[in-house]
Amino acid sequence: MPLTTRSKILLIDDEVAFCELCALWLEQAGYQVACAHDAASGLALFKDANSNEPHQKGFDLVIHDLSLPPTFRPEESLENLKYYDVPVLVLTAHSDRALALKAIEYGAWDFINKPIDPDLLQLIIQRALEKHSLLKQIKTLENELVQQDELPSIPTFGLIGKSSAIESIRELIQRISKTQVPVLIQGPSGTGKEIIAHAIHNNSERNPHKLVSVHCGAIPAELLESELFGCKKGAFTGADSDRKGLLASADQGTLFLDEIGEMPLSMQVKLLRVLQDGSYYPVGSRKLENLNARLVCATNRDLAKEVEQGHFREDLYYRIKGLTISTSSLKNRKEDIGILIDHFLIRYNHQHKTNISLNKEVCCWFMNTPWPGNVRELKNTLESAAAICLSDRLSLQEIALIRGHDAIKDIQNTSGFNANLGTSEKTLEQHVSELEINLITQALTKFQGNKTHTAQALGITRQGLINKIKRYELA
């Protein structure tokens, strides 16, 4: 076993005879063993060996007795556990469950009562070393992923997912970013419209300048004009000084008008004039200001229908819709849910220095929840549940606390719920892939291989279905 032959163990126990016997067992199993007979010397030995000095191997695991000189009080030994950043197996002659739980709380990996069974000890050590090695590898990969995600990423643009809808949006961003054409981003709330706007700006030649974001629905109608155009001192009650508007701040950069469908009709007329002429007057001023900015707009409304109903100006609509990017709701791209959860969980664990994962029931719950609030709702739910999780394994108990028991009732009553998840330790993405393969196979059988009817039944495009058939080699 590769871990055994290279691993170094520190044994801290005041019984010299026990240390010699235990060291003999472990050395015969292929471990390197060093002994200490009190807490202070043991900690000093550990710090010296694990000081990251070159050509010096540190300890991979600590076996720590709780009753040590000079006081022989277990409570004092517990305080030392926090200084070890490797698995610690606690030994004691005290068969005390409360003490065992307290040791785990202080960071112990496991708790073993004396007298020791050599075979059981070796098994626990092997499992602790193997799991700790895997956790270190995962942490390294998580740090690499976070660092990569913090760098400008041309392939993903911060859009997480592998669905055909996400891939199409990435390709559109790549193609249109270098142009000056206006962009209209349409789609449900929580689907990443603002992320797309930032990606367009960051990948454009206007990147050195600002992207100025204006939420048209959040600013009161009576204040929107002065917020956009700026104002001169005395232009209206409360205008105590000259104030630069958001249009001026966006000059040479990108102006992002979020939720433009909420803009009052009276303001739409004034915005249209700015877009046509490339100039405007600040409120209360007679000096014409010029504007040179890339326009990106976003809305969760169907603006074409809003135009038909007279709620949005037709001339402004055609001025801002130079190129339209449509985002999809999460229920139409379930294959992205697993990847999104992995991404948000890695971020959460990195930021909060935790190691939380999901149990199988929670994985299934996330996959079967409709998510009307889309990615934003999924992210908030996951982070809220992680925040109240008392262990490193997120369960339906946390989901019920934040969403109510009704939210998990249907999942718990679903026929074959546990059986479908199986007993293997698969990633959430693998479970999603299996679910997709089953659904596609069943639909193809039902419609006798007709891809058009199959795609309609699954709620995806025909090309999206063809891409999945190729990815999963179902042809």
Going by pLDDT thresholds of 50, 70 and 90, the confidence category of residue 144 is low
Q: Each residue of 180-193: pLDDT tens digit? A: 999 999 999 999 99
Does 195 share its domain with 343? no
In a domain, 154, yes or no: no
**Residues 95, 182 share a domain:** no
H or E segment to which residue 467 belongs: helix 462-471
Q: List the structure tokens of 341.
A: 């959860």
**294: CATH:** 3.40.50.300
* Other beta carbons within 10 Å of 66: 28
Confirm whether 147 is domain-assigned.
no
CA 24 to chain centroid:
47
Domain carrying residue 182: 164-328
Instruction: Select the highest-mean-pLDDT range: 37-51, 315-329, 452-466.
Output: 315-329
In a domain, 397, yes or no: yes
Q: In the chain, how many domains are there?
A: 4
Q: Look at residues 328, 351, 376 and tell me which one is the last residue of a structural domain.
A: 328
Same domain, 176 and 316: yes
Give domain status of residue 146, yes or no.
no
Same domain assignment for residues 314 and 290: yes
* Together in a domain, 116 and 176: no
- In sign, the C-alpha dihedral spanning 453, 458, 463, 466 is negative
Burial class from Cβ neighbours inside 10 Å (0-12, 13-18, 19+) for residue 365 reads buried
Whether 385 and 464 map to the same domain: the answer is no
Q: pLDDT tens, 158-208?
A: 898 888 899 999 999 999 999 999 999 999 999 999 999 999 999 999 999
Q: Where are the alpha helices (DSSP H) in 255-359?
A: 265-277, 303-308, 314-320, 337-352
- Rounded mean pLDDT of the chain? 84
Per-residue pLDDT at 148 exceeds 60: no
Is residue 139 domain-resident? no
Whether 145 is covered by a domain: the verdict is no
Domain edge (last residue) among 307, 328, 349? 328
Q: Which pair of structure tokens corresponds to residue 7?
A: 């691993």
140, part of any domain: no
| CATH classification at residue 335 | 1.10.8.60
Higher pLDDT, 362 or 458: 362
Are 231 and 323 contained in the same domain? yes
Which one, of 160, 156, 166, 158, lies nearest residue 332 by Cα? Answer: 166
**Cα dihedral 327, 330, 331, 336 sign:** positive
Overall pTM surpassing 0.85 (yes/no): no
Residue 210: inside a domain? yes
Q: Are 322 and 356 in contact (CB under 8 A)?
A: no
- What pLDDT, in 10s, does the model give residues 27-59? 988 899 999 998 888 888 888 887 766 666 788
Residue 254 and residue 274 share a domain: yes
Give yes or no: residues 420 and 466 share one domain. Answer: no
Block residue for tokens 């959040």: 218
One domain, residues 31 and 170: no
Say if residues 264 and 221 touch (Cβ distance below 8 Å): yes
Tell me, yes or no, whether 365 and 470 share the same domain: no
What are the b/e assignments for 84-104, b being 16+ CB within 10 Å?
Answer: bebbbbbbbeeeeeebbebbe
d(CA 405, CA 391): 20
Q: Is the same domain home to 413 and 452?
A: no
Query: CA-to-CA distance for 255 and 274, rounded, in angstroms?
Result: 12
Q: Percentage of the chain surpassing pLDDT 70? A: 88
Query: Which of residues 328, 360, 381 is at a domain's end?
Result: 328
Looking at residue 142, its pLDDT comes to 64
391-404 pLDDT per residue, tens: 888 988 889 888 88
